[in-house]
Structure 1
Amino acid sequence: MASLLENRVYTDTDLFYSTNLENVDYSQFQVPWFYRAEFELENANGSHFRLKTNGITSRADLYLNGALIADKNVQAGAYGGLAYDITSEAKAGKNVLLVRVYPTDYNRDFGLGFVDWNPYPPDNGTGIWRDVEIKQTGPVALSSPRVTSALDGSVSIHVDVHNLEESGHQGEVVCTVSDPHGKSLGHPHAEFHLFSKAQQKLSLSLKVPRPEIWWPKQWGPQPLYTTSCALSTSSGLSDRTSITRFGIRTITSMLNAHNDTLFSINGHPFQVLGAGYTSDIFLRFDEAKVRAQLSYVLDMGLNTVRLEGKQEHPRFYEIADEMGVMVMAGWECCDKWEGWSYNDEGSGFKWTDPDYYIANISMRHEAEMMQHHPSMLTFLVGSDFWPDDRAVQIYVDALRAFNWDIPIIASASQRGFPALLGNGGMKMDGPYDWVPPNYWYADQLGAAFGFGSELGAGVGTPELSSLRKFLSPADQEDLWKQPNKGLYHMSTNVSSFYTREIYNAALFQRYGPPTSLADYLLKAQMMDYEATRAEYEAYASRWSAAERPATGLIYWMLNNAWPSLHWNLFDYYLHPAGSYFGTKVWSRIEHVAFDYTSHSIYLINRGLANKGASRTVDVELLSLDGQSLGKTTLNATTTPNSSKRLSPSVPGLSEIEDTALLKLVLKDDSHGKVLSRNVYWLSGKPDVLDWENSDWYYTPVTSYADYTSLFSKMARASLSVTTHGRKAVVLENKSKVPAVFVRLNLVDGRSGEDIVPVRWEDNYVTLWPGERIEIGVEYEGGYGGARVEVSGVNVEGRSVHLGGY
């Protein structure tokens, strides 16, 4: 499909609109497809040629100049990267490579499946999805370097040397290591002696003076060292590697007293706060989009992405290294990858002997590609289920063969574990559909304790500008007029997530039945905002809990493989909305949060600095008519990399009649600088969860909070909107009532199209009477002159000019 899209046989615009994907002729992908390439070679004396595959889904026959190089039983598995000696088939001048790929069946083949996340691509991902390479060497070949390091600057470079000839060879490998500024640090070297066709592992070591340590973005810089190696024999240069970048850092994991996994980076306990990343539905790689998505990860304050069965292109990991985003890689659930005899939930065919061969070549290829990247946090060799003993041994041996020096986790759930690896220390108890904010502060299922490997309230509603790109007018009307209808852009029609029924029941009850699509979307953004904020804040607040700390959270999910109505923190078109800014609001390195269950206030410090610094928290509860119901100031000192409970309760909560607004402002005492600003809407009637009737994907609610007064009783607020150059919007509430949930959208002044990617300092904000806020924005584009569209619960919609180039 990616090839057909590139050649304009299909277009994204058409395929993604409404149900148009169903119009593709699926029968064309039920037969083998051929890829053909012509290339030139210069055949110098003594040269050897190797053909290297890196990713073909899922089986292929390879031919060079008409000769079969490998058949579909050898070139198998989406990650089955192998190097084939093609010296005897290659010739000087023009050569022809032909690749015949066979149709992929997710239950039979080791592909890149999407489970129920979105419709399956018509071709099931069949084809060449990573580069195929031709490499020319002398008699001895050299592998890419792997690097291990320690915080004291000890660095070891590991390479494999392979004699490609019948006669013996000896020689030397010399590596060059440079610091992040390009200065050479030395040339470690090692000699080798190889018999006929033999292979040997070499390790070359040096000590880096005054090492610059690589950190996750929130904790420090990302200095990257480089190394490249050259191999020479008596006849001269035989092979050399390209430049490999690496970082000096250490990563460990342990099970705490509760059997929960706790990671540490550079000796500091590391709370994973991330989300599940997915590749494009057609496995296309767009570097600009990847950069934008990872920049959003950091902008939201997240530190990790999880790849469940969607290992990415090499460039992805390089970008993560540069940006300081941690990566949890691993195999996927539910299909062939988890075809274990004890898995009674998945649909994959059970493994037979040839499957273990594919497991081995897949793990070896991915291990070699990932090993040197400092952004790699762990590899999960299982997702919903743990691998059987034979597969586990294969996976572990393959990882260790490539000098894997970071944690290997058995699986992302607590269903079981292999003896070789032990308990994975992660829970997979849901939810995946909507739950109220107070769910996360409980002590059951997916609530904030332990390590939640995939969980979330199922939100991620795109705004109207995005919806119009992939929903027909009738589809859009269904969102609010047919709240229980199955929707093509939710999950698949056999999934528990084919409708928005659970979500809509809550929206209609909590915010009132929508009166229009615009009204529905405004209420949906409020639902999404409070859902993601509560989840992340609860886990961050419980990081230092004495009873059972919350050691990690992967929100389900970060992004979508195609335009979707749920499971995202920003939509397919990179437009951030309620779920994004609900996540972002808690992202400050120092933050203050409200516990929906105990009504406590928590002080959170996610950094490694400011130990013992004095902080002030201003707390105020406000009625919808602008009257103060309670007010106090709390004083505290902050502790790095920890959370602490400040107050047993917020004053005035008992005075709430229908809905009130709570504002928490965290300040640095020494400078008066605002470190965090956080506004909640609270009901006098709480959401009541029916824990006893919980399902694997949600917990029912027997009684809902009531926020209908936000839409039935709020007086209109007078909001002044001005701009400060091209990079800031100034909001001032000139009325005596709060201005609620003011949203800002940046568009091109000429086309009216959203400007994306865009990074607002804050958005979907609520202003107190008389309050003035300046909100910065970073963006590219706006060549027609950028404009800001302003709307909210009780403010008049308008747009203002921000400026252009």
Structure 2
Amino acid sequence: MKDVIPLTEGWTLHHDGTALPAQVPGCVHTDLLTAGVIPDPYLGLNERDVAWVGRRAWTYTRDLAPDHTAPGAHERTDLVFDGLDTAAVITLDGRELGRTRNMHRGHRFDVTGGCGTLRVEFASAYDEAAAVRALTGERPNVYPEPFQYIRKMACGFGWDWGPTLVTAGIWRPVRLERWSTARLVRVRPLVTVADGVGRVEVHCDVERTDRGAEHPLEIRASVNGVQARGTVEGSRAVLVLDVPDPELWWPRGYGEQPLHDLEVALVDRGVAVSPGDGERVLDSWRRRIGFRTVEVDRSPDAHGTGFTFVVNGVRIFARGVNWIPDDAFPSRVTPDRYRTRLRQAAEAGVDLVRVWGGGIYEDHAFYDACDELGLMVWQDFLFACAAYPEEQPLRGEVEAEARDNVVRLMPHPSLVLWNGNNENLWGFRDWDWEPELAGDSWGGGYYLDLLPRIVAELDPTRPYTAGSPWSGSWEHHPNDPAHGTHHSWEAWNRRDHADYRASVPRFVAEFGWQAPPAVATLRRALPGERLAADSPGMLHHQKAEDGNGKLNRGIARHFALPEADFDRWHHLAQVVQARAVAAGIEHWRAHWPVCAGTVVWQLNDCWPVSSWAAIDGDGRLKPLYHELRRVYADRLLTLLPPAEEGAAPALAVVNQSAEPWHASVELRRTAADGTVLGRAVLDAEVAPRSVARLAVPGALVPDAKSAEEFLVADADGLRALHFPVPDKDFSYPVPRYDVTVESPAGADGGSVDVVVTAHTLVRDLLLQADRLGPHAICGTGLTTLLPGERVRLAVRGATDTGADAVRAALFCVEPA
């Protein structure tokens, strides 16, 4: 049987005569940080002070003992790196083993009989990129960094939400594998379901030693009580396992997520090397799989060209979020951290996570958690926002990387889509790349030829799309909302979030709105700084082009912009973010099945920063997170503003659950002081996975220019509101409410219930729990109370629960 020896201990990091203990897996920055050589780049302006790290060469060393590699019980010893970041020369006792130039794939070297000093010498990623650029020529991109010339995590060079921290290091596990006769090179399980039978085609590739060339080898596989065996012909074998009536894997909200252990063994059936030799298990492989079918319906129809996920024959409105690396130093993201973040997504009603193309192919722990939680995974190939050369040495690396990762990830039932790139087809057509390129390669051959061929060859069970956004062909603009996937960025960049309601894209793969992180996150990240929207640290932790200008304009369209009140500015920025995203999702969900999904930009952050994230860089939940929980719930009530002047708002009753919904919706036309001016009850019968739209009776429609009245809809604990004018024009009363702090029975000292009783209209009340302690949390986001209504806010982990502190942590919309 194969023997595996992890090489995680005993590494040293070297540069210019210095030697430091190194953690493997890890990276140079984390080792320097641990040793106190550099300050924490996430704090203050320190990112600038550590820029030199990414421009230096670094070397990792450790000793490799003779007994680890000497021939004996095993014929062959391989040195296996799961991830090297990025351009490296590997030597053992002065003998070069090989060179690497790709962070996103593994590497294997024969070290049989070798021993001595193992060295991994990393060149600066900037130097490697410059060398490749000199070979391929210049290509345009959206940032002044050379990330398209090196197969490395693009966002490490900085993004409009991320720091420029160009890493190097052994970022994934390294080990020795000692084996004899033969080993499993790769196992590809093609899992399908048809006519009530689950089929697993197990494709195996095998490597033999010279001595093992004549050995008769057998592959054995089992899943869910079904077994099969077959002979290895040369270096390949295929087994078929048919599982009758398998339990199907479903996205969350549609069914359960049964997973089954698929076990594969490579067996030597015995050319006797010595007397008594018999059958031996040489190598084994094990993964969990799930039985389900998945396709994307891209049929043309009266509205254009659709893009609808269909799982096990069921059409799905995808409730999605975009995922970026959860840390600028990905080796710090543990399985527990993956599970925490993805569980938060599931608890917010999310059923699809898009792994964005400027990051990494995540660790198995990410996809394992998605398998278990029922989160569909849309996986980008790693190309983003740039024209990529298609010449060598990049083309060979791209193909090897794609093959490695398709095979590595395909066992996961949560994986439902391969996507060629992020925004590069759009960029070629719409961002002035085409004339600048003047016929040079730019990546189109990858997205429209190489990658779909690799997916068709290795993983034909899953759909592929050439890019996001992509209309399906060059016959339409790549970002045409009527065809395929669409990225909606005009509202954030130039307009108001009300513009989301101007169109009904077939699938919204990106849209979002910025807000600052929690106050406790800012205080940690900007120690000693007096917080202000334009303070030095705040501006440094705002990476978007004119980010604060867009934030301020977004606030000013709805509220009087607070000029010198940071706390109020902070609250309003978070309110606008939550409202903006909700406006888009409510509108697009109400137009199902024409629109078949929304993927919010973005779920998470990789450091403390003002960004589009719902969960900030310290893991704190923004109000947007709680709003996602509302608008991504199976059942949603929404009042859609009039589509044109003189029209009435529409009531949409959205039912994405599996059960019919009889909703009795109470509508109230209400004055600013809380007086009910009119009332009616509308009954809606909503079938499963469908939407009902009802006209609001004319007598209940507030005047389109009224600053004195609004519309309220309530049903089954859900509420929707319609205000006909912007907040700054509405006659809000001065908010008055009582606050009491109660200790729940049996709770610890940091757990309290904050009970707020409204005497007036209280719009978008928010308890910022982190002001009561850095680890305090509240499970409720923005809440609007009518006079006489009460809300109970559960706070856990607070260090200050006094009445004054609690009141100071409460915010709401106030009169202009």
Cross-structure match for 1:615: 663
Which residue of the other structure, out of 712, 728, 745, is the alignment partner of 1:663? 712
Amino acid at match of 2:582: R
**Residue 474 (structure 2) pairs with residue 428 (structure 1):** no
> Kindly tell me: are residues 172 and 465 of structure 1, through their superposed partners in 2, closer, same or farther at Cα, counting changes over 3 Å?
same
Amino acid at match of 2:83: G
Question: Using the alignment, how far apart are the partners of 2:652 and 2:450 within structure 1?
Answer: 45
**Residue 67 (structure 2) pairs with residue 18 (structure 1):** no
1:77-476 matches, within 5 Å, as 77-87=102-112, 90-91=113-114, 96-105=117-126, 106-114=147-155, 116-122=159-165, 124-151=166-193, 152-156=196-200, 157-165=202-210, 167-178=213-224, 185-194=225-234, 199-200=235-236, 202-233=237-268, 234-235=270-271, 236-237=279-280, 239-257=282-300, 258-279=304-325, 280-284=327-331, 285-309=333-357, 310=359, 311-334=361-384, 338-339=387-388, 350-386=389-425, 387-389=443-445, 392-414=448-470, 417=473, 425-431=484-490, 432-433=492-493, 435-443=495-503, 448-456=504-512, 458-471=513-526, 474=529, 476=531
> Kindly tell me: are residues 404 and 723 of structure 1, through their superposed partners in 2, closer, same or farther at Cα, counting changes over 3 Å?
farther
After superposition, the C-alpha distances for 1:475-496 in whole angstroms (9 at most, x for unaligned) are: 62244x89xx9921112xxx5x
Question: Using the alignment, how far apart are the partners of 1:276 and 1:137 within structure 2?
Answer: 41
> Kindly tell me: are residues 659 and 278 of structure 1, through their superposed partners in 2, closer, same or farther at Cα, counting changes over 3 Å?
farther
Q: Secondary structure of the equivalent of 2:774?
A: coil
**Seq. identity, %:** 19
Cross-structure match for 1:36: 61
Which residue of the other structure, out of 712, 721, 724, is the alignment partner of 1:680? 721
Unaligned runs of 5+ in 1: 179-184, 340-349, 668-673, 687-704, 797-805
From the two aligned structures, give the one with the greater helix fraction: 2
Cross-structure match for 1:631: 679
| Cα pair 2:555 2:561 within 8 Å, conserved | yes
| Cα pair 1:442 1:597 within 8 Å, conserved | no
Amino acid at match of 2:294: I
**Displacement of 1:209 after TM fit?**
3.8
**Displacement of 1:391 after TM fit?**
6.2
Cross-structure match for 2:79: 51
Cross-structure match for 2:738: 718
> Kindly tell me: are residues 570 and 629 of structure 1, through their superposed partners in 2, closer, same or farther at Cα, counting changes over 3 Å?
farther
RMSD (Å) for aligned C-alpha atoms: 3.3
Q: Secondary structure of the equivalent of 1:329?
A: strand
**Displacement of 1:164 after TM fit?**
3.0
TM-score of the pair, normalised by structure 1: 0.80
Question: Using the alignment, how far apart are the partners of 2:770 and 2:167 within structure 1?
Answer: 34
**Displacement of 1:119 after TM fit?**
4.8
> Kindly tell me: are residues 624 and 785 of structure 1, through their superposed partners in 2, closer, same or farther at Cα, counting changes over 3 Å?
closer
| Cα pair 2:54 2:167 within 8 Å, conserved | no
**Displacement of 1:274 after TM fit?**
1.4
Question: Using the alignment, how far apart are the partners of 1:240 and 1:12 within structure 2?
Answer: 44
**Residue 764 (structure 2) pairs with residue 741 (structure 1):** yes
Cross-structure match for 1:525: 574
Question: Using the alignment, how far apart are the partners of 2:697 and 2:328 within structure 1?
Answer: 47
**Displacement of 1:388 after TM fit?**
2.7
**Residue 96 (structure 2) pairs with residue 68 (structure 1):** yes
Question: Using the alignment, how far apart are the partners of 1:131 and 1:266 within structure 2?
Answer: 36
The 10-residue stretch of structure 1 (458-467 or 430-439) with the greater mean CA deviation from structure 2: 430-439
| Cα pair 1:558 1:569 within 8 Å, conserved | yes
| Cα pair 1:561 1:572 within 8 Å, conserved | yes
Amino acid at match of 1:764: L
> Kindly tell me: are residues 96 and 538 of structure 1, through their superposed partners in 2, closer, same or farther at Cα, counting changes over 3 Å?
farther
**Residue 542 (structure 2) pairs with residue 542 (structure 1):** no
Amino acid at match of 1:217: R
> Kindly tell me: are residues 529 and 621 of structure 1, through their superposed partners in 2, closer, same or farther at Cα, counting changes over 3 Å?
farther
After superposition, the C-alpha distances for 1:471-516 in whole angstroms (9 at most, x for unaligned) are: 356562244x89xx9921112xxx5x24311221232352213251
Question: Using the alignment, how far apart are the partners of 1:159 and 1:134 within structure 2?
Answer: 22
After superposition, the C-alpha distances for 1:632-678 in whole angstroms (9 at most, x for unaligned) are: 221111222222212246724118732655433222xxxxxx3xx23
Question: Using the alignment, how far apart are the partners of 1:463 and 1:661 within structure 2?
Answer: 31
**Residue 807 (structure 2) pairs with residue 766 (structure 1):** no
| Cα pair 1:740 1:792 within 8 Å, conserved | no
Cross-structure match for 1:801: none
Amino acid at match of 1:765: T
Amino acid at match of 2:283: R
> Kindly tell me: are residues 735 and 255 of structure 1, through their superposed partners in 2, closer, same or farther at Cα, counting changes over 3 Å?
closer
Amino acid at match of 2:461: D
| Cα pair 2:251 2:375 within 8 Å, conserved | yes
Q: Secondary structure of the equivalent of 1:290?
A: helix
> Kindly tell me: are residues 657 and 429 of structure 1, through their superposed partners in 2, closer, same or farther at Cα, counting changes over 3 Å?
closer
| Cα pair 2:29 2:167 within 8 Å, conserved | no
Give the number of equivalent residue pairs. 709
Amino acid at match of 2:784: T
**Displacement of 1:625 after TM fit?**
1.5
| Cα pair 2:27 2:170 within 8 Å, conserved | no
| Cα pair 2:191 2:461 within 8 Å, conserved | no
Unaligned runs of 5+ in 2: 1-25, 127-146, 272-278, 426-442, 644-648
**Displacement of 1:113 after TM fit?**
1.1
Question: Using the alignment, how far apart are the partners of 2:743 and 2:259 within structure 1?
Answer: 39
| Cα pair 1:144 1:241 within 8 Å, conserved | no
Amino acid at match of 2:88: A
> Kindly tell me: are residues 786 and 251 of structure 1, through their superposed partners in 2, closer, same or farther at Cα, counting changes over 3 Å?
farther
| Cα pair 2:321 2:353 within 8 Å, conserved | yes
The 10-residue stretch of structure 1 (572-581 or 386-395) with the greater mean CA deviation from structure 2: 386-395
> Kindly tell me: are residues 748 and 509 of structure 1, through their superposed partners in 2, closer, same or farther at Cα, counting changes over 3 Å?
closer
Q: Secondary structure of the equivalent of 1:295?
A: helix
Question: Using the alignment, how far apart are the partners of 2:738 and 2:813 within structure 1?
Answer: 7
TM-score of the pair, normalised by structure 2: 0.79
Amino acid at match of 1:489: H
| Cα pair 2:685 2:692 within 8 Å, conserved | no
> Kindly tell me: are residues 67 and 783 of structure 1, through their superposed partners in 2, closer, same or farther at Cα, counting changes over 3 Å?
farther
> Kindly tell me: are residues 382 and 577 of structure 1, through their superposed partners in 2, closer, same or farther at Cα, counting changes over 3 Å?
closer
After superposition, the C-alpha distances for 1:574-629 in whole angstroms (9 at most, x for unaligned) are: 2112222222221221111121234111111122x113x42212222433321123
Question: Using the alignment, how far apart are the partners of 2:93 and 2:793 within structure 1?
Answer: 62
> Kindly tell me: are residues 721 and 525 of structure 1, through their superposed partners in 2, closer, same or farther at Cα, counting changes over 3 Å?
farther
Amino acid at match of 1:768: L
